[in-house]
Amino acid sequence: MLSKYVVPGNKVEMQAVERAKYIDDTEKKKVYQTQVCDILSEDQLEIYMPMEKSKLILLPVNAEYDLYFYTQAGLYQCFANVIDRYKSDNQFILMMELTSNLRKFQRREYYRLSCALEMNSRPLEREEVEVVEKGNSFLVPGLPLKRSVIVDISGGGIRFIGNYAYEPESLVCCKYNLVVDGNAKEYTLVAKVLMVRELEDRPGVYEHRAQYINIDTSEREEIIRFIFEEERKHRKREKGL
């Protein structure tokens, strides 16, 4: 798929992922611009080492980056590791190996994955809301939760159903589990309810659309990676692999 859409000369934006080793927090916030040098295989490519103010940026080997390719077919995204760096024909090159599938990317919205995931939730207490609205995180432990089911998930939010209705614009605590990179993890996130409606064919059951609030960058990346992995499994099943 890589060679189908990405060609030498395509512009690339790259940013270290939040969990990347060997990179300090200041460096993780930087976005570098460079170009594709060559496509080596469907999971390896060469890109020119980025420059900043005429100075080469020596990105560390084994560090993982979030890559965005500007192609004739649109914007594509993937995660990739730096596996080597060298000089060739007086050009400094980074060899990158993909750690996720290449996917079409829409900057205005996150791809949504249909699913059926158990979730527990509750409305935030007033003191919690005050803290969250200031851009911080604070949740009172041990408060009762309501059961619901997530029916689609993205890096930006969730759609879930339950036999109760939250108020639109309210903030809720959401708890659910995902398996990311083979490891199970519980997520406790705050979301803002954008829409609520009663299902026509299921009286008393309500659908909610909610957007994450103050989500940690690393957790958002993990959710996106979960979606990539589930999509990959789905495609394999369809092909009978």
Distance CA 141, CA 131 (A): 15
Please name the amino acid found at residue 30. K
Residues 120 and 232 in one domain: yes
Tokens at 67, concatenated: 């890559």
pLDDT tens string 155-165:
889 999 999 99
Distance CA 81, CA 194 (A): 37
Give the other-Cβ count within 10 Å of 69's Cβ: 25
What mean pLDDT is reported for the chain?
88
As a whole-number percent, the residues of the chain with pLDDT over 90 amount to 49
Residues 82 and 189 in one domain: no
Whether residue 35 is found in the same domain as residue 124: no
Which residues share a beta bridge with 153? Answer: 113, 158
Quick one: 134 and 84 in the same domain?
A: no
More confident residue, 81 or 31: 81
End-of-domain residue from the set 104, 122, 154? 104
Domain end residue (candidates: 68, 87, 104): 104
One domain for residues 77 and 12: yes
Nearest Cα neighbor of 62 from 85, 33, 32, 88 is 85
pLDDT at 26: 65
Task: Tell which of 51, 79, 104 closes a domain.
Answer: 104
Both 65 and 82 in a single domain?
A: yes
Domain count, the chain: 2
Q: What angle do CA 111, 233, 77 make, to 5 degrees?
A: 40
pLDDT at res. 106: 63
Measured between alpha carbons, how far is 33 from 114 in angstroms, rounded to an integer? Answer: 33
Per-residue model confidence (pLDDT) at position 234: 76
Q: How do residues 186-204 score in pLDDT, each as one tens digit?
A: 999 999 999 999 998 899 9
Query: In whole angstroms, how far apart are CA 59 and each of 15, 20, 94, 95, 115?
Result: 11, 12, 8, 11, 37
Torsion sign across C-alpha atoms 20, 26, 29, 34: negative
Burial class (CB within 10 angstroms; exposed 0-12, middle 13-18, buried 19+) of 136: exposed
| CATH number for 31 | 2.30.110.10
pLDDT tens for 78-114 read 889 999 999 988 899 999 999 888 888 765 456 788 8
Region of poorest pLDDT, from 40-49, 143-152, 160-169, 215-224? 215-224
Highest mean pLDDT among 15-24, 25-34, 63-72: 63-72
Same domain, 19 and 50: yes
Do both 120 and 93 map to the same domain? no
* pLDDT for residue 118 is more than 60: yes
Strand partners, 17: none
* Closest among 51, 46, 50 to 82, alpha carbons compared: 46
* Residue 27, domain extent: 2-104
CATH number at residue 194: 2.40.10.220
